Amino acid sequence: MSELKRHMGLFHLTMYGVGLILGAGIYVLIGEAVGFAGNSVWISFLLGTIVAIFAGLSYAELCALFPKAAAEYTFVKHAFKNNFIAFIIGWLTAITSMITAATVALGFGGYFIQFVNLPITISAILLIVGLSIVNFIGIKESTWANTIFAIITAGGLGLIIFLGMTFDTTENIDYFEAPNGMTGIILAFVLIFFAFIGFEDMANVAEEVKRPKKTLPRAIILSVVITGIIYVLVALSVVRILNWEELGRSSAPLADVADQAIGFGGGLTLSVIALFATASTVLITLVAGSRILYGMARSGSLPLLLSKVHSKTKTPWIAVIGIFVTSVAFAFIGDIVIVANITVFAVVITFAMINLSVIVLRYTEPQLERPFRVPLNIGKFPILPLVGFVVTVYMAIQFEMTIMAVGLGIIGVGVVFYLIFNRSRKIQ
């Protein structure tokens, strides 16, 4: 029986997912993506939607099977019956939160520079500092507040879509123009997959959802489809308003698009929405990341020190400091594309394991009741998780060697930590 109150129905959970996904990714990275793919950037977003749906279907089946918090760790542990593999996936999930906070904070800096002339990296670090203090003091989020935020964020993108549909242009836009060919489209697809990150966090509120075995799968799929449609429409709209070469050079792409369409007031409005979207995403990831560290520490997978709760604020303050320090370190990299790519590398490894977990569990625990099953099966074997696994592995090998080296280095640090930590526990 869950100790948490089940208060989220299908609408609130779907909006929660839409808010998590829409967050800040598209506000931050669409300019860089257009620089790679040109007018064909909509194809990159379509590919991202398809891959996210594959992963979403796998999460949906697993959430219906195991509607518990600490989702990825739980899924992989059940599938592989191996603490080490489960720890590495939990480790990657925690690290992803830290890098995501740094990536989005850099995006915040790109929009903030229009109001205060501060270097982007400095603005990013100041944001992380401020929100880490909020994280330490304590934060209570209601589903209504999240729903309202999702609507505001979507409203900004809705404005871009409206401007794109009504923009009076004499140019004939070739939506298949790709200056770097298919390579550019794939590079953009791998980069913008960052914009789809978030729906997996829906699994971690399973214990607060009404009828989770039915509600979670539906909400996950709905949120991915809704955001995918919005993203593709935005991608078609921005290149209609502003030349792709100008977009590729912009640190505040959607603000520049609104400026071009309706003047300075439009850009200002989009910048304000983007600031709220990015700041909120950073806060959510800092809070989630610290709770992942706290949860893993309580389960004995990390040092018990990280599970310490402050006597006054009732927050896991050591974990909060850990997330803060690591996020600031990644923000010092300064290049948003590099930091985002490191995040996506970690995410696609996690998604590959989630897809594989669905396949493994079909054979190791076929007797379990599955309120939701991924469609398209040959007997027990699910086809779509296999496709999702292959695609995510393909994505993982598309990164530059530097990104792959950093990603594998993060996994390597996790492996070393696991071995040392477990050996020290045995000695004690």
Contacts of 290 (CB under 8 A, 6+ apart): 135, 315, 316, 319, 320, 322, 323
Tokens of 302: 């990390």
Range list of H helices, 299-368: 317-331, 336-364
Q: Which of 63, 347, 51, 71 is nearest to 215 (CA)?
A: 63
Q: Check residue 421 and give its pLDDT.
A: 87
Cα separation of 242 and 118, whole Å? Answer: 26
pLDDT at site 182: 93
Pull the structure tokens for residue 197: 């990150």
Instruction: Report the C-alpha dihedral over residues 281, 287, 288, 292, rounded to 10 degrees.
Output: 150
159's tokens:
């404005």
Nearest Cα to 43, choosing from 321, 254, 235? 235
Domains in the chain, please, with CATH? Answer: 10-420 (1.20.1740.10)
DSSP state of 8: B
Q: Name the stretches of the chain with pLDDT < 50.
A: 1-4, 141-143
Distance CA 378, CA 387 (A): 13
Residues 53-69: pLDDT tens digits? Answer: 999 999 989 988 887 65
Cα separation, 239 vs 244, whole angstroms: 6
**pLDDT at position 1:** 42
Over the Cα atoms of the chain, what is R_g? 21
Query: In 210-322, which ranges are E strands?
Result: none
Cα→Cα distances 354→198, 364, 382, Å: 15, 15, 13
Identify the bridge partners of residue 209 per DSSP, sorted by sequence position.
8
Do 64 and 270 contact (CB within 8 A), yes or no? Answer: no
Pick the closest to residue 345 from 398, 386, 413 (CA basis): 398
First-to-final CA distance of the chain:
34
Structure tokens given for 98: 């830290």
Q: Under a CB-based contact definition with an 8 Å cutoff, are residues 355 and 393 in contact? A: no
Number of H helices, E strands in the chain: 16, 2
Q: Please tell me what DSSP assigns to residue 381.
A: E
Query: What is the spatial distance between Cα 256 and Cα 111, in angstroms, rounded to a whole number?
Result: 10
**Interatomic CA distance for residues 42 and 26, integer angstroms:** 12
Give the predicted TM-score (pTM) of the model.
0.84
CA distance 104 to 25: 7
